[in-house]
Amino acid sequence: MPGHPPSEWDEQWGVQAYVSAEDEAGHKGIGEGLLASGIPPEAVTTLVNDFLSPAIRGRELNVTALNELMLKAIFSAGLGGISSIAISGIDVSLWDLLGKSEGKPLSRLLQEEGRMLDVSKIAGSEFSVPVYASFPRYGSCDLAMRAVEEAVKRGYTAIKLHQSISSTLDCVKSIREKFPKLKVAVDLNCSLDLEDALQQLPKMQDYGIEWFEEPLWPPDDFKGIRRLVEEGFPIAAGEDEFRPNGFEELCTAGVKYVQPDVAKSGGITGFLRALDVAERYDIKVAAHVRPHASYVNAAATLGVSLASPLVSWVEFPPFEFSGELFTNTPAIRDGMAIVKEAPGIGTEYKLLSYAYRKKLRALKFADLG
């Protein structure tokens, strides 16, 4: 992640776990599992290379069926957490492989699966999706304001803060004073108990917060979330849900947005399962994408967002993706990511053939200490 301005998470968010899938004809697909909250890369790569890949290698490329097969293969070890992250990386790589082997973009594959596309997002060979600039954590509100200014210059009309709870209110005040029309969301990283949330959220709500993301510890405190919703707070949650029943709990709690992540919730297949739940409850989706320097999951999320008009937002970084690493990167205009359709998830990772270099970093993300 380029440090412009430098953040407290630049180093931690520079850790990626890629998955490559190949068919007999030599077509390649790329996917990625989300490494965050202290997950060692070796844990994910071991599951991918030594456990899940042998279970599906040599089988017909039916991605939905292969996703289900991986779930059955690993269920006794647990269907969430690292298991789901490993499955997610494989699943995205398989969708990408399928599209590239057939020369079809993800949208066409979704149509062939029986999905009705949100045609309002599609214009000819391009499509556009609402995105918001999601910031890492900055050491001061001055640095956060610099990041906001850069994001607005780049074309963003909405941003999300990841500041500590002690500084969030001051940052919100400063941003609102300078950018009164900018949409502002607040990610609280599961830092509050219910009592603290009932005290802290009203102070910020006066400044027109679009949503409060994951305010409570633990993140599956559905009763607490329901209480916050009943108090009138717009809540978004779901990046830590891995199966449809978790998203159903959030929908019945009345959240404003559910937030599946293709790199955590079971890949594109898992995202579609979560979307089915959201559609049953008519709950909007703000797709979670960790805003790091990799375009793989962002590209996959932009593509799968065409599957429903309920996908109202996609999380995006406040900087440009590297054209040296990825093809077909998007432009940001008036709060929209605009990208040309291309086979698979719509991008190529130019370093796919390079050797893996082992580099372990300590990841510090949550506010639980």
- Report CA-CA distances (Å) from 339 to 124, 125, 170: 11, 9, 36
Question: pLDDT (tens digit, 9 = 90+) per residue, 140-166?
Answer: 999 999 999 999 999 999 999 999 999
Q: What is the model's pLDDT at position 39?
A: 82
Of 106-115, 226-235, 241-250, 352-361, minimum mean pLDDT range: 352-361
**Dist CA 106 CA 268 (whole Å):** 10
Asked if 347 and 327 count as a contact pair (C-beta separation under 8 A), the reply is yes
DSSP character at residue 125: T
**Dist CA 37 CA 49 (whole Å):** 22
Question: pLDDT (tens digit, 9 = 90+) per residue, 241-264?
Answer: 999 999 999 999 999 999 999 999
Give the other-Cβ count within 10 Å of 160's Cβ: 23
User: Which residues lie across from 134 on neighbouring strands?
Assistant: 160
Asked if 159 and 135 count as a contact pair (C-beta separation under 8 A), the reply is yes
Torsion of CA 306, 264, 148, 118, to 10 degrees: 10
336-340 and 126-134: which strand pairing? antiparallel
3-state helix, strand, coil in the chain (%, to 5): 40, 20, 40
Structure tokens at 231: 């108090």
Domains of the chain: 12-103 (3.30.390.10), 110-340 (3.20.20.120)
Q: What is the model's pLDDT at position 367?
A: 46
Share of the chain above pLDDT 70, in %: 94
DSSP track, 312-358: EEEEE-SSPPPTTTBSSPPEEETTEEEEE--SBTS--BTTTTSPP--
Question: pLDDT (tens digit, 9 = 90+) per residue, 176-230?
Answer: 999 999 999 999 999 999 999 999 999 999 999 999 999 999 999 999 999 999 9
Q: What is the model's pLDDT at position 362?
A: 43
Total H helices, total E strands in the chain:
12, 13
Asked if 326 and 351 count as a contact pair (C-beta separation under 8 A), the reply is no
Asked if 287 and 315 count as a contact pair (C-beta separation under 8 A), the reply is yes
Asked if 336 and 99 count as a contact pair (C-beta separation under 8 A), the reply is no
- What SS3 state is found at 142? helix
| Number of Cα atoms under 13 Å in the Cβ half of residue 367 | 18
- Does 4 or 251 have the greater pLDDT score? 251
Burial 194-205 (b: 16+ CB within 10 A, else e): beebbebbeebb
Share of the chain above pLDDT 90, in %: 83
Give the other-Cβ count within 10 Å of 61's Cβ: 17
- Report CA-CA distances (Å) from 276 to 5, 254, 270, 310, 336: 39, 16, 10, 10, 24
pLDDT at 363 over 70: no
pLDDT at 356 over 80: no
Residue 211 — left, alpha, or beta (φ > 0 → left; ψ -120 to 50 → alpha)?
beta
pTM summary value: 0.94
Question: pLDDT (tens digit, 9 = 90+) per residue, 30-64?
Answer: 999 998 767 888 899 999 999 999 999 999 999 99
Residue given tokens 């919730």 in the structure block:
265
